[in-house]
Amino acid sequence: MYFCPMSEYILGIESSCDDTSVAVLQNRKILANVTANQQIHAEYGGVVPELASRAHQQNIVPVVEAALSQAQIKVQNLSAIAFTSGPGLLGSLLVGTSFAKSLALALQIPLIEVNHMQAHVLAHLIDHKNQKTPSFPFLCLTVSGGHTQIVQVNNPYDLKILGETLDDAAGEAFDKAAKIMGLPYPGGPLIDQLAQQGNGQAFTFARPSMTGYNYSFSGLKTNFLYFLQKEMKQNPNFIQENKQDLCASLQGTIIAVLMEKLEAAAQATGIKHIALAGGVSANSGLRKALKARESSLGWETYLPNFEFCTDNGAMIAITGYYKYLKQDFAGLSFSASARKKLALGH
Ligand code: KG4
Ligand code: ZN
């Protein structure tokens, strides 16, 4: 038994998309972070909301039990329950929300609602192994399957969106391009692997120019589709024969677009502490591109540990911990919301 009465123990529950993930934190330190992935969606080429919420219902009790047991913590020792309140798939969010409310009510401990996008950013504040904690203010490029944002983080409670995607997210661009090439879902990690054996200069794709620090990836996807359709008319094996080069060129374009706006935001704000967050921050090319700016632009960069890139309970628990310190609690009538905005400084 690991209990220390001077510490706060926060249970974090993430269920916004297709991962049921639960973590236990002792203050900022991880005791457990357990995730059940849902393989079922691969058969359909994308996340099926109804199947996702059903799988969350099946997974949530065993995953919570596994996290508590790994943390060697009794449920009675928890200080608060934090849960993802949005954005995400409503049916999936409701499973985590209802479970969190019931547990908080049964244990008579505070309930804390957490914004998923704030949590991706605050994952950097988790005290774990060799992960470096950024100092404030820092800029965070959050790139996931549903979102692409440049966020200025003044402190854990004051996050300001400087720019975001106006249509597809960066992860969506990876996944949709992979689907066009006939690769299974989620395509991002596969494109990353194939790109490592390809030539990024082999093909050129459209780079949309948006105002300010905003992004747009839908034009790139369409450009990629039309390009392949044209080439396949002449050579039906075009994709098969050029898979690595296609992946490297596509990935290179996405990274170039992401980095251009990030560099502009860093220059305008004068901030040189730069972090990556979200599922796409696992991308090896993007991690390399960020690291390269340490010598070329004098940036101090922060790459999350791989387990904190994609959706995880630990990022919900760390955000819950900071909200706990401020006694920012949710009532039992609080409801999840599919389209939640990242709260601006409060
Ligand atoms: O943050 P996340 O787990 O879920 C959302 O909140 O969306 O991000 C999932 C996204 C997917 O689009 C997936 O293809 C992408 O992250 N992804 C990657 C890599 N690993 C995950 N994209 C590119 N390269 C990777 N290595
Ligand atoms: Zn996410």
252 with 278, same domain: the answer is yes
Residues 299 and 315 in one domain: no
- CATH code for the domain of 292: 3.30.420.40
Q: How confident is the model at residue 1 (pLDDT cuts 50, 70, 90)?
A: low
Structure tokens at 39: 């393989």
- Asked if the structure places residue 73 within a domain, the reply is yes
Rounded CA gap, 120 and 317, in Å? 11
Cis peptide before 186, with omega less than 30 degrees from 0? yes
Per the CB < 8 A criterion, the answer to whether 221 and 207 are in contact is: no
Q: Looking at the structure, do residues 148 and 292 belong to the same domain, yes or no?
A: yes
Instruction: Identify the band that residue 55 occupies on the pLDDT scale cut at 50, 70 and 90.
Output: confident
The residue whose CA is least distant from atom 3 of ligand 1 is 310
Cβ of residue 59 lying under 6 Å from some atom of ligand 1: no
Residue 114 lies in a domain: yes
For residues 104 and 75, state if they share a domain.
Answer: yes
Ligand 1: does its nearest atom lie under 6 Å from the Cβ of 280?
A: yes
The pTM score is: 0.93
Whether residue 109 sits in one domain with residue 192? no
State whether the beta carbon of 14 lies less than 6 angstroms from ligand 1.
Answer: no
Distances (CA, A) of 118 to 33, 92, 123, 143: 18, 18, 9, 12
In a domain, residue 267? The reply is: yes
Asked if residue 240 and residue 142 are part of one domain, the reply reads: yes
Q: Which two tokens stand for residue 35?
A: 């995730």
* pLDDT of 273 over the 70 cut: yes
For 196-222, the pLDDT digits (tens) are 999 999 999 988 878 999 999 999 999
Helix (H, G, I), strand (E, B) or coil at 108: coil
Q: Report the pLDDT averaged over residues 127-156.
A: 94
Give per-residue pLDDT as tens, 161-183: 999 999 999 999 999 999 999 99
- Specify the number of domains making up the chain: 2
Q: What is the pLDDT of residues 184-193, one digit of tens each?
A: 988 999 999 9
Residue 2 has a pLDDT of 63
pLDDT bin (cut points 50, 70, 90) of residue 343 is low
Domain around 265: 138-303
Measured from the CB, is residue 198 less than 6 Å from ligand 1?
A: no
What's the average model confidence in pLDDT over 244-248? 98
Beta bridge partners of 25: 10, 30
At residue 346, the pLDDT reads 37
Q: Are residues 231 and 271 in the same domain?
A: yes
13 and 40: one domain? yes
**47 and 89 Cβ atoms separated by less than 8 Å:** yes
